[in-house]
């Protein structure tokens, strides 16, 4: 664990001094090595891709995209390490945002905003771009070991004003953020706390969180879904959909179910467009051999 922490600190020291073109090339090369030798991770990613792409996809296609996934994961780490050194002008040149009017319309209701996304494309630079647009964002995150590593990664991610809270702690900060008109950002594709539910995801039962929908239901905050993708030149795109309204005339659990159906449907669409950019390397589906 201590070695992992030291390697992250080494990355944080070296990456800001590394030209992006060279850095991404090294990430691609290292991603290939990890793909070859990290069998558990490779197997899980291949199984995940099989669920996304379907039985009609060839094993060659599955392997090609799985290999690419490891490169995309390292690209994201490269972005994380250089995040504190990025300035406003650079981020504005790198990030294109569409559907921003949907975010503004939801915020105009003055009840805050529950923003749901997935571990897709780029996260760190996109969040920086959203902070530059004036959003106050709070996100619950998974704890890491050792604690020094968790603190260091949080410090990198919070370097431009993002607020992070442990996902297994009190979520009162999310409620307070919404009451102040801010954004509670939650991922819809990983049930880290194990408090979600088993739902149909790409045609198979999967463990997914439902806390984002329940938070919106509890606070009355509108729900906006947004996703990102990394372009071949390592610029980034973020796009947001119109706010989803929970059916207020239905019982609570029916509202939750309706919200979950909407979130899952949009995640399936987004992930299907760029499945190799879905950086989830743990079992999601309930019947996965390694669950």
**What are the pLDDT digits (tens) for 13-58?**
999 999 999 999 999 999 999 999 999 999 999 999 999 999 999 9
Q: Is the pLDDT of residue 289 over 80?
A: no
Confidence of residue 287 (pLDDT cuts 50, 70, 90): confident
Alpha helices in 159-210 (DSSP H): 172-179
- 287 within a domain of the structure (yes/no): no
Q: Structural domain of residue 67, as residue ranges?
A: 2-277
Count Cβ atoms below 10 Å from residue 51 Cβ, excluding itself: 18
- 286 within a domain of the structure (yes/no): no
At 291 the pLDDT is 45
Q: Is the pLDDT of residue 262 over 80?
A: yes
Strand, coil or helix: what is 107?
Answer: helix
- 232 within a domain of the structure (yes/no): yes
- 290 within a domain of the structure (yes/no): no
* pLDDT tens digit sequence for 192-229: 988 999 999 999 999 999 999 999 999 999 999 999 99
Domain count, the chain: 1
- 282 within a domain of the structure (yes/no): no
Q: What percent helix, strand, coil does the chain show, rounded to 5?
A: 55, 15, 30
Name which of 81-95, 203-217, 276-290 the model is least confident about. Answer: 276-290
User: What percent of the chain shows pLDDT beyond 70?
Assistant: 98
DSSP 246: P
- 262 within a domain of the structure (yes/no): yes
- 285 within a domain of the structure (yes/no): no
Mean pLDDT of the chain: 94
Mean pLDDT of the 176-184 span: 95
- 283 within a domain of the structure (yes/no): no
At 2 the pLDDT is 81
Q: Is the pLDDT of residue 260 over 90?
A: yes
């Amino acid at each position: 664990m201590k070695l992992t922490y030291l390697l992250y600190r080494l990355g944080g020291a070296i990456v800001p001094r590394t030209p992006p073109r060279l850095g991404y090339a090294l990430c691609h090369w290292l991603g290939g090595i990890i793909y070859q030798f990290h069998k558990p991770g490779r197997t899980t990613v291949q199984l995940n891709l099989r669920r996304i792409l379907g039985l009609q996809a060839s094993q060659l296609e599955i392997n090609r995209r799985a290999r690419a996934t490891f490169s995309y994961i390292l690209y994201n780490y490269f972005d994380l390490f250089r995040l504190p050194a990025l300035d406003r002008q650079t981020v504005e040149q790198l990030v294109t945002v569409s559907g921003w009017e949907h975010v503004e319309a939801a915020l105009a209701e003055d009840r805050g905003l529950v923003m749901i996304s997935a571990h897709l494309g780029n996260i760190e630079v996109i969040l920086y771009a959203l902070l530059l647009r004036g959003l106050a964002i709070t996100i619950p995150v998974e704890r890491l070991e050792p604690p020094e590593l968790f603190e260091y990664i949080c410090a990198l991610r919070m370097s431009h004003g993002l607020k992070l809270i442990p996902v297994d702690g009190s979520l009162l900060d999310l409620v307070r953020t919404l009451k102040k008109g801010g954004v509670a950002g939650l991922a819809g594709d990983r049930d880290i706390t194990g408090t979600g539910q088993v739902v149909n995801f790409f045609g198979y039962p999967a463990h997914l969180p439902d806390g984002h929908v329940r938070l919106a239901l509890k606070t009355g905050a509108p729900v906006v879904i947004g996703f990102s993708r990394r372009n071949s030149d390592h610029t980034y795109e973020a796009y947001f959909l119109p706010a989803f309204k929970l059916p207020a005339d239905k019982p609570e659990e029916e509202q939750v179910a309706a919200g979950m159906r909407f979130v899952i449907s949009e995640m399936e669409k987004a992930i299907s467009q760029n499945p190799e950019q879905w950086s989830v390397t743990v079992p999601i589906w309930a019947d996965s051999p390694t669950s």
